[in-house]
Structure 1
Amino acid sequence: MSTTPWHASADLAARYADGSLPESDAWSLEKHLERCGACAARVSAAVRQSPAAGPVLARMREAVLKEAAPMETVLKEAVCAKAARRESREAGPAAAHAAHPPAGGHPLASGHVGGPVAAPLLTPPARSVLRARPRARFLLRALWAAGPAFRGAWLPAVWLVALGALALSQGAGADASRPLLLALAPVVPVAGVALSYGAHADPLHEIAAATPCGGLRLMLTRTAAVLAVSVPLLTLTGVLLPASGTPGAAAWLLPGLTLTLASLALAGWVGCRAATALTGGGWLCAVLVPSWASGGAALTELTQQLDRCLAGSRAQGAWGAAAVLCAALLAARRSAYDHMEKP
């Protein structure tokens, strides 16, 4: 592979702007623009001058600026208010008295604009922005953008599995609640990954997948968000359930991580949905089919099958080795995900 530095020529930028550049060359150029500001400026100028893309880009810019104008006003008012409060503190009590005279003598009410600057009155939108909690809003937006799984049926399904297992153990006194939870828990993150990436579930997938970082990085980000929700909830539920001779509540964590990594690694060949169906379906068949075939001793067979698959250092060591192998395969084939499900 050549490591000689290269830059986008004017002809290459023009072909990219009018859409005549081959798709593989366009992907290579987009990746290069992440690290080269000069080429990014050249391509941006070519797009603005393009007869096809230029007018569309101009209209989009006008629409964005029109929507951003109210927020800009709010931010300016907030900055002015902060500066006025700082000047008032520095000026001392005399300035505070001048800024807030007795009733009937307020500088703003009387039209007087001289003297110390009074704190500007904030509009209702500005006050609501200042009262909001930026960190909480950021977390909510990050959760919303993490993936469609959080905006669809997956998140309620996770709560249904957890609360259903608790209700089954407390209401009916069934000993099968923890074995069923341990059997279903490893496929919950796999299902979340399947629902978090792909044109089938994400209305903005074409925009996300068209970006240079819309491949493996986006998949890993959404996978981490899925794991961050499902792992604590299902593990805590397993702790609250009766043991009934089954493996520990955290015994499913390493198998769940391995199945998730296997799904991501396999997605480079067959796609995300097919990969998750193969891994998740294979696990369910390996665990549940023997218990169903046993007839009346279904619970006993399920418990024994879970012991073979989850309990003991040998089983967990095998899952750990498989997880390392899947992670290595994922890293080795990371370039394959840049072209997966592109528009």
Structure 2
Amino acid sequence: MRHATTNGDARVWHVSDDLAARYAEGVLPEPEAWSLEKHVEGCGGCAATVSEAVRGTAAGPVLAEIRDAVLASLPAPAPAAPAARRPRRHVPHRFARLLWAAGPAVRGAWLPAVLVVAAGALALAYGTGYPGVRALLLAVAPVVPVAGVALSYGPHADPLHEVAAATPGGGLRLALTRTVAVLAVSLPLLTLTGLLLPASGAPAAAAWLLPGLALALGSLALASFVGCRTAALLTGGGWLLAVLGPVPAASSGGAAGARLAEQLSRCLDGVGAQSAWATAAVLSAVLVTARRPVYDRPLGR
């Protein structure tokens, strides 16, 4: 299947001609194909072996035509600056890869929006004395990671989504990486903001953590059926409808804040409520795992 070479005590595995031929013919089992694709990302020799095997198939001429068309469409490179005047630039390759993996949400408009939500809650509480700001923040907070997940993965997030979904580093692995990045930003930031706000009868500042995790995983699982944006609309909209729906629109600020805090207490406070959210998070994670093959194909919008 593969052949090994030894360099001192290290054993380095490489792609054999037979393995490359089976991959080019499309008969290699999926796990072995993923392993091969991951290996050739960093091994030029094996990449050349696989490329030559693919060129020998019926798809070879078609791929060659596509390659020539892509190269022909590229603009001509600008003249290089003289060596003496060319500035030396240190490109942070690892940071760039990490930023790309984190997804459009973390490096785009979503992150400033989260900061605006946090700063706006503090300004509303201490600048205007508006009652029930923590309850309002707890009502909005679980939707924030859901929105981040929706913006992080799918055709709208990556121009090359179809290609990325088929790579070993794409698919569910990429979706989970971006979900973790969204949660790593939103969970501590909004929880810290909640701690700085007056309680005013609202649940604890960290009471939304399990619901936020469950809704994010639920949105990710539902996306495998209906697409990222529709899934975010269903999960985030369902949450907002559940907590904001019972609050009368005509209520005064204090009455609305008290009613919202009461409704949030039903949804968030107590061992029963938190256990239900933990169960929902686990079930969503199981469903995401079961639906893993779907992420190897482009998801709908």
Q: TM-score range by the shorter chain?
A: 0.7 to 0.9
Identify the match of residue 195 of structure 1 among 138, 151, 159: 151
Counterpart CA distance in 2 for 1:32 and 1:289 is 49
Q: TM-score if structure 2 supplies the norm length?
A: 0.76
Show the 5 A alignment for 1:97-136: 125-126=87-88, 128-129=89-90
| Shift of residue 148, structure 1, vs aligned partner | 1.2
Contact 1:147 1:197 survives alignment (8 Å)? yes
Instruction: Decide which moves more: 41-50 or 236-245.
Output: 41-50
Shift, 1:253, TM fit: 0.7
Partner of 1:34: 37
Distance, in Å, in 2 between the alignment partners of 1:341 and 1:28 is 21
Identical residues among aligned pairs (%):
58
Q: Would the alpha carbon gap of residues 165 and 284 (structure 1) be closer, same or farther in structure 2, given more than 3 Å must change?
A: same
Matched, 1:52 2:59: no
> Take 1:59 and 1:268, find their aligned partners in 2: how far apart are those partners?
33
CA distance in 2 between counterparts of 1:202 and 1:142 reads: 15
Q: CA deviation at 1:46?
A: 3.2
Deviation at 1:338, TM superposition (A): 1.5
* 1:166 has 2:122 as partner: yes
Corresponding residue for residue 316 of structure 1: 274
- Tell me how large the CA RMSD over aligned residues is: 3.7
| Residues in 1 aligned to 2:104 and 2:39: alpha-carbon distance in whole angstroms | 32
Within 5 Å, give how 1:158-307 maps onto structure 2.
158-292=114-248, 295-296=251-252, 297-307=255-265
CA separation of 1:277/1:27 partners in 2, compared to 1, >3 Å: closer, same or farther? farther
Go from structure 1 to structure 2 and tell me whether the alpha carbon gap of 1:336 and 1:141 turns closer, same or farther (over 3 Å shift).
closer
Per the TM alignment, residue 298 of structure 1 is displaced from its structure 2 partner at its CA by: 2.1
Residue type of the alignment partner of 2:87: P
CA 1:270–1:62 in structure 2 vs 1: closer, same or farther (change >3 Å)? closer
Structure 2 residue identity aligned to 1:34: E
Q: Write the distance in 2 (CA, Å) between the matches of 1:142 and 1:36.
A: 20
Alpha-carbon spacing, 1:205–1:35, altered in 2? closer, same or farther (3 Å):
closer
TM-score, normalisation: structure 1: 0.67
Return the offset for 1:52. Answer: 3.4
Using the TM superposition, give the Cα deviation of residue 282 of structure 1 relative to its aligned residue in structure 2, in angstroms.
0.5
Q: Secondary structure at the match of 1:173?
A: coil
Structure with more of its chain in helix, by fraction: 1
2:155–2:298 contact (8 Å) kept in structure 1? no
Cα 1:29–1:57, aligned 2, differ >3 Å: closer, same or farther? Answer: farther
Cα distance in 1 for residues equivalent to 2:71 and 2:85:
26
In the other structure, the counterpart of 1:43 is: 50
